[in-house]
């Protein structure tokens, strides 16, 4: 199966999700979604599968024929933007803190950032959104096994559960599809580019 993902829009062209190509084709096949192309033309499964497939098109083999890869689909009966929880992951902690040490305020490359437990595990701190922050190696070693207060250090801001952003679902590889950019919020988009530069 072809690599990468498909962007899922609701009927107002708002991106709500990212899914596998296989699942996207399945949704279209069942009539739950339609495919959107570069020219914003909308296709059901039949009309999409009748499109000719040229050498330059990304393609996927179905049992009977080869079709173009759908990179954007639109759900047919769903207009709400779902509320979601942001996955608690290392990657998303970097995104929330913008690769910035929460003690000295400097931005670093990811390989030079540690994830710091604000209240150390040894003092009963938890591993969750409200107790972990990005920290540079220098600040991290200065702080050692102490709380910020004990170490005489201050946090830039109190760590919290971040707001959901579709970007937290999108893998760096998938960020390259030009076809997706038009649907993305410019604020998110700026954030995304910032992230790529580092
Ligand atoms: Zn620092």
Task: Give me the pLDDT at residue 196, please.
Answer: 40
Q: How far is it, in rounded angstroms, from Cα 44 to Cα 50?
A: 10
193 Cα: distance to centroid of ligand 1 (angstroms):
23
C-alpha 134 to ligand 1 mean position (Å): 8
Whole-number pLDDT of residue 126: 93
Tens-place pLDDT, residues 156-171: 999 998 876 666 667 6
**130 alpha carbon to ligand 1 midpoint, in Å?**
18
The candidate with the shortest Cα–Cα distance to 13, out of 42, 51, 55, 52, is 42
- The model carries a pTM of 0.58
**Domain map of the chain by residue range?**
5-83+167-192, 90-151
Q: Name the nearest CA neighbour of 95 among 171, 180, 181.
A: 171
Query: What's the pLDDT at 141?
Result: 96
DSSP letter assigned to residue 119: S
User: Hey, which CATH number is domain 90-151, 3.40.50.300, 3.30.390.30, 3.40.190.10, 1.10.30.50?
Assistant: 1.10.30.50
pLDDT (0 to 100) of residue 178: 72
How much distance in Å is there from the Cα of 126 to the middle of ligand 1?
21
Amino acid 82: pLDDT: 58
Tens digit of each residue's pLDDT (9 = 90 or more) over 4-37: 889 988 888 888 888 889 999 999 999 999 999 9
Please give the helix or strand (H or E) that residue 179 lies within, else none: helix 178-181
Q: How high is the pLDDT of residue 194? A: 44
Centre of ligand 1 to C-alpha 163, Å, is 24
Q: Which two tokens stand for residue 177?
A: 């599809």
The label of the residue with tokens 């954030």 reads 191
CA of 50 to the centre of ligand 1 (A): 57
Interval between CA 91 and ligand 1 midpoint (Å): 18
Cα 101 to averaged position of ligand 1 atoms, centre (Å): 5
From the CA of 114, how far away is ligand 1's center (Å)? 10
pLDDT tens string, the chain, 198 residues long: the values are 577 889 988 888 888 888 889 999 999 999 999 999 988 899 999 999 999 998 888 888 888 889 999 999 999 986 655 566 777 888 889 988 989 999 999 999 989 999 999 999 999 999 999 999 999 999 999 999 999 999 999 999 999 988 766 666 676 666 667 777 777 765 555 444 444 433
- Ligand 1 centroid to residue 71 C-alpha, Å: 40
Residue 193's pLDDT is 46
DSSP result, 35-86: EE-TT--EE-HHHHHTS---TTS-EEE-SS-EEEPP-EEEESS--PPPP-PP
Closest to 73 in 3D by CA, of 122, 20, 2: 20
151 C-alpha to ligand 1 centroid (Å): 13
Alpha carbon of residue 184 to chain centroid: 12
- What's the pLDDT score for residue 51? 92
Backbone angles phi, psi at 60, to 5 degrees: -135, 140
The per-residue pLDDT for 46 is 95
Q: What is the pLDDT of residue 197?
A: 37
Task: Measure the CA–CA gap between 23 and 168, rounded to whole angstroms.
Answer: 20
Q: Tell me, what's the pLDDT at 188?
A: 55
């Amino acid at each position: 199966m072809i690599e990468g993902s498909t962007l899922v829009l609701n009927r107002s062209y708002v991106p709500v999700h990212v899914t596998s190509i296989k699942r996207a084709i399945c949704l279209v096949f069942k009539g739950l979604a339609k495919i959107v192309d570069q020219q914003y033309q909308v296709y059901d499964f039949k009309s999409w599968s009748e499109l000719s497939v040229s050498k330059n098109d990304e393609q996927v083999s179905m049992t009977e024929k080869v079709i173009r890869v759908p990179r954007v689909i639109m759900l047919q009966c769903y207009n709400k933007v779902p509320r979601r929880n942001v996955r608690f992951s290392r990657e998303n902690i970097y995104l929330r803190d913008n690769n910035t040490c929460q003690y000295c305020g400097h931005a670093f490359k990811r390989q030079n950032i540690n994830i710091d437990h604000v209240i150390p595990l040894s003092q009963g701190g938890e591993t969750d959104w409200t107790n972990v922050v990005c920290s540079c190696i220098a600040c991290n070693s200065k702080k050692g096994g102490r709380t910020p207060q004990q170490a005489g250090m201050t946090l830039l801001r109190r760590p919290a559960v971040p707001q959901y952003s579709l970007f937290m679902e999108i893998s760096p590889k998938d960020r390259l599809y030009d076809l997706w950019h038009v649907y993305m919020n410019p604020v998110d988009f700026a954030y995304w580019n910032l992230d790529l530069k580092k």
